[in-house]
Structure 1
Amino acid sequence: MAKQPKRSATDRVYPRDLAATLLRTWNPEPFFEGWPRVELPPKAVLGQFLDVCYHASMLTEEGRPTVFRIVLQDSKSPVSPRHGEELPPVTRYTFTKPIPFTETELRRLAPVADPRKVLIAVESTGEGDQAQLQIYGLVDIGMALWEMARHERVMGHSSPEALVVVSTRPGELSISRGDRPVVRLRDGRIVSPTDSVLHEGPIAEFFSPASTVFINNACQLAEIDQDPDEDDGLRMAHQTFIESLLLYTADLHHGGTLLFVPEEMAHDDPRLLSRVSIKYVLPSTRPRDALVSAMAARLQHNAVMTSLEDRKTVKIEVLQALEALAEREQECDDAAKDAARFIASLTAVDGAVVLTDTLRIIGFGAEVIAAPAATDTVHIAQTAQGDESRPIEFTEFGTRHRSAYRFTAGLDNSVAFVLSEDGGIKAVRQVGPRLLLWPYFNIGFVTALT
C-alpha cells in the first residue's frame, strides 16, 4: 500500500487561519429569547487575541503546561442571561486596574484560574489602530456545569454568552460560544467535533442491544412495565454510565485502554484468548448490577411521583415513603458512579481493561497479542456515522493505539476506547472493510470544558 504523503509546513494551521475560519462560520444570533447576540471583534483584534492565546499555550511553569480558559467579553456586558437575582450563580470579579493581555500575564494568572470553573476575562478597548486587549478580571461560574458535564448533577450554570478559548496542552486551542463547541486547533489542524459516538453511528449500534437488556432488567427489578420512550433518562442510562467511565478515566491523566466485547464472552473464551493475555482476571457483575439497581430505583420513584400529580392532599405516610424512595435512588446512583470510578482506576495498571457490553468486568492488565492486522491503515471518521473518513497509517500512532487497532480489527464485534495522558479520548471499531477511528467527539459539554 502506498504511503500517505507527508504534510509540509504550508499544510499547518496557525492562529491567523483560525481567525479566518471563525469569521466565516460564527453564528452571532441569540440561542434563546432574551439572550444577547454574540458578535466577534474585528479581524485584527480577533487575530491578536488568538495569537496571544496560542503562544501562551506554549509556555510552561516548572515543566507544567499553561492551562487556561479565557472569555472575550466587554466588562459592562452581563455574564449571565439570568437577571435580577439577589445572588447570581455566575460572578465577575474585577481588578481595580486592568492588566495587559500578554503571554506572560496569562502564564502568571493561569494557576489561580481553575479552568473547570474560572475564566480569565478579557476585553478590547479603543477603536481602530488604537484598539488594545486587556485582562480586567475573573469570571467564576462554579463547579455546577463541570459536574453536570460528568453526569454528576442534572442542572448547571452556563458560561457567559461570548467567545471562549480553552487550552489544555501546547499548541491546542478549543474555541466555543459559551459552552457550545465551535472549532479546535489541534495538532496543526482545524477540527470540529463529531456528535457523540455513543448516541449514533457504529459505536452506538454496538451498545444498543445491551441498553435494551438494561431497560428490561430494570423494569423487571422495579416490577414496573415502563415504555422506554416515556423516559429519556432510562434509555440513556447505559450510555451515560459509559460516558462517565470515560471521563473518570480521562481525569486520571495516565492514559489507558478499555476493550468492550459481547456479553457471551468469558475470560477463557478462545476468541478472546487468541487476542489478549489478561494478567489479572477479575470477573464481576457489580457495575451492571449497580446500574440496573439505579435505573429500577428511578422507575419506582418516578412512578410514585406520577401517582401524586393530581392529588390535592397527600398523607404523611406517602410523603415519607416518597422520601425513602428518593434516598434509595440517590444511594443507587452513587453506587453506579462508584462502580464507574472503580473501572477507571483499573486503567492505572499497564495494559487494557476488558469488559462486556453489559458492563461485566472480565479483567485488566491485558496485553494485546493478536497478529498484525490485515491492513496498516486506520480511517479517521469525520462524522459519528463514519460515512466520511480519511486514511492514515498505523505508524502515525503509538503502541497503545496500535494495540487497540489490532484487537478491534481482529474481532469485528468489539469496541475500543483509547485514552491519552493529556485526557484525549478516541473510539475504534471495525466497520465492514474499514477500521474506523473517532479522534474527537462530543461527550456532554466536555469538548468545550476539557
Structure 2
Amino acid sequence: MVKHFTPEDLASFVHTELQRSKIKEVKPSESILKELFNTLYYTSLQTEEGQFIKVTVTLFDHADFENKDLSKHDNPGFFAFDPKIEFSIKNLVKLSKAADPWSSSLSVYYDDSEKLFIYGMIDQTIHYQSYLNYEEEEKPLYPGIIQAMINGIGILNVMLDYHPIATLNQHSLVKLYPNVFEYGPVSEFISENAAYKKAFIEKKVGHSLTAEDAEIYNEIIFEYVIQAISRILLRIKNYSHGGAILITKNFNADLTTKYHLEYDRIQSAILHTLTSVTDNDLLLNEIKSYKKKAKDIPAVLHDEYKENELDIDNSYNEMIGAVRFVSSLSCVDGLVLMSPHLEVKGFGAVINEKELPEYIAVSKSSKPSAQRLKIDPKHFGTRHQSMFSYCLKHPDSLGFVVSQDGEIRAIKNVEGEVMMWENIKVYQFERSNKIPKLPPRK
C-alpha cells in the first residue's frame, strides 16, 4: 500500500534534521513545526482573487536580530508589524498578496506558550531567490532558522540556508534531489554533446590552445549549459502550466513542429561569456604583474579591463533575456525542440512515435542503480508518455518534463532502458555545514 505523507510527517522529519544540526538558534519543538506546516499546507489549498497562493515564511527569532549590519546595503532587514499578527490561514492568504517570495518573506516565531505569530517582514529576499535561480553569483546573507515556501497546491519546500531539508509534494515527502547534471547518464550526455572541437574554441578565444586547455574550456562551457537548462526549467515551473524540452540532434524524425524557429542566443551568450571571462583573466594577470613590479598601470590597460567587465555584464544580461525568451516558448502546447548546444529549432512540437516501453525505470540516484523502481508508463500523462516513446526509439536524446504541479523530471534511454529521474536538482542548492552527513550504513 502506498503511504500518503502529511504535514505532520514533514514536521517530524524536519524536527529530526534540526535536532542533529549545528544551528546556533533555539531549535523549535515538533509541535511548533506541526502547527507551522499544517497552517501553510492548508493555506496552499486556498486562492486569493482567483490566484493560487505563493508565499515564503521564515522561522526567525527577531528578538536577537537588529538591522545594524551596514557592511552591505542590500543585506536583508527585519521590519516589525505593530501589533503582531496571528499566524492563521486567513492572515497568510491576505498577506501573501503583499509578500511576493521574490521580494520579501513573512517573519514568523512563537511566544512562551508556543503559539505562532507573524511578527513582521524580511526584505531584500530577491538576492536569495536570484541566487537559487542562478541569476546572481554571490551568495547573499539570509537570516532565520528555516525558510518554508508554498510553491503550489499542497507543495511545501523547507530550506536551511541554501540546503533543501525536504519537500512535501502533495502526498509525497521528498528528501533527495538527484543531481543528474553532475553525475550519471544525463550529465554524460550533456558533457559529450555540448563540447566543441579545439579549433572552434581557439577561433573564439583568439589564440592557440593545448588539448588540456581545450578540455578546461569545455568543462566551463558544460557548467554554463547545465545552468542554462536549469534556469529554463525553473522558469517553466514558475509558469505553473507544465511544459517539456527535448534535446536531440535529429529535428525531423517522429516529430511534427508547428513553429519552426532558429534561435541561438543561449549558445552565443555562453560563448560571449566564455571569451569575456577569458580576456578578463588575462588582463587581470597583466595588471597584477605591474603591481608586483610596483609600476604604474597604463591607462590603456585600465580602460581595457573596465571595458571587458562591461562585456561580462552584457553577456550575463544576454543570458537572462535568452533564458526567459526560450522558457516562454513552452507556453504553447507541445515541446520546445533544442540542440545539445541549446539552439532552439522550433516549438509547439508534437512527438508522433506512439510505442511505449514495457516499463519506466525510476531512479532515486543520479547514477543507475539496482534499486530503481519499475513503473507502468501509462501511469503518467500524455506529455510524459510521448517523451518515453521518443527516448525509447531515439537513445541519443534527452527529455525534460515539467508537470503542472511543478515537479521536474529528466528522461533518458540508458542501454535500451528508458529511465526517469524525479525531483531533480535544478536550484542552486548547497549542502549546509550546519547539518552533518549521516554515517554510512553498515
TM-score range, shorter chain: 0.7 to 0.9
Question: Match for residue 109 of structure 1?
Answer: 95
| Structure 1 CA distance for aligned equivalents of residues 117 and 226 of structure 2 | 42
| Structure 2 CA distance for aligned equivalents of residues 236 and 68 of structure 1 | 31
Q: How far is 1:86 from its partner?
A: 7.7
Q: How far is 1:39 from its partner?
A: 4.6
Contact 1:124 1:132 in 2 (8 A): yes
Question: Match for residue 184 of structure 2?
Answer: 201
Q: Which string of whole-angstrom CA distances, capped at 9 and with x for unpartnered residues, describes residues 133-184 of structure 1?
A: 1111111133122223333332142322412211122222111113310111
Q: How far is 1:333 from its partner?
A: 3.0
| Structure 1 CA distance for aligned equivalents of residues 394 and 274 of structure 2 | 31
- Superposition pairs for residues 1-400 of structure 1, below 5 Å? 7=2, 11-26=3-18, 29-30=21-22, 36-78=23-65, 83=69, 85=71, 87=73, 89-126=75-112, 130-213=113-196, 217-224=200-207, 225=209, 226=213, 229=216, 233-262=220-249, 265=250, 267=251, 272-273=252-253, 275-312=254-291, 313-375=296-358, 377-387=359-369, 388-400=371-383
| Structure 1 CA distance for aligned equivalents of residues 239 and 42 of structure 2 | 26
Q: How far is 1:112 from its partner?
A: 0.6
| Structure 2 CA distance for aligned equivalents of residues 214 and 161 of structure 1 | 47
Q: How far is 1:229 from its partner?
A: 4.5
| Structure 2 CA distance for aligned equivalents of residues 14 and 356 of structure 1 | 41
Contact 2:132 2:428 in 1 (8 A): yes
Q: Does residue 1:443 correspond to 2:426, yes or no?
A: yes
Q: How far is 1:106 from its partner?
A: 1.1
Contact 1:91 1:141 in 2 (8 A): yes
| Structure 2 CA distance for aligned equivalents of residues 438 and 301 of structure 1 | 38
Q: How far is 1:88 from its partner?
A: 6.2
Specify the code of the residue in structure 2 equivalent to 1:383: S
Q: How far is 1:361 from its partner?
A: 2.6
**TM-score normalised by length of structure 2:** 0.87
| Structure 2 CA distance for aligned equivalents of residues 140 and 232 of structure 1 | 37
1:421 to 401, 404, 409: 404
When structure 1 is superposed on structure 2, of 42-51 and 209-218 the one drifting more is 209-218
| Structure 2 CA distance for aligned equivalents of residues 325 and 87 of structure 1 | 26
| Structure 1 CA distance for aligned equivalents of residues 163 and 272 of structure 2 | 33
Tell me the matched-pair count.
Answer: 422
- What SS does structure 1 have at the residue aligned with 2:62? coil
Specify the code of the residue in structure 2 equivalent to 1:120: L
What are the ranges of 5 or more consecutive residues in structure 2 without an aligned counterpart?
Answer: 432-442
Distance 1:284 1:330, change over 3 A: same
**TM-score normalised by length of structure 1:** 0.85
| Structure 1 CA distance for aligned equivalents of residues 25 and 197 of structure 2 | 42
Question: Match for residue 33 of structure 1?
Answer: none
Q: How far is 1:227 from its partner?
A: 6.0
| Structure 1 CA distance for aligned equivalents of residues 188 and 16 of structure 2 | 35
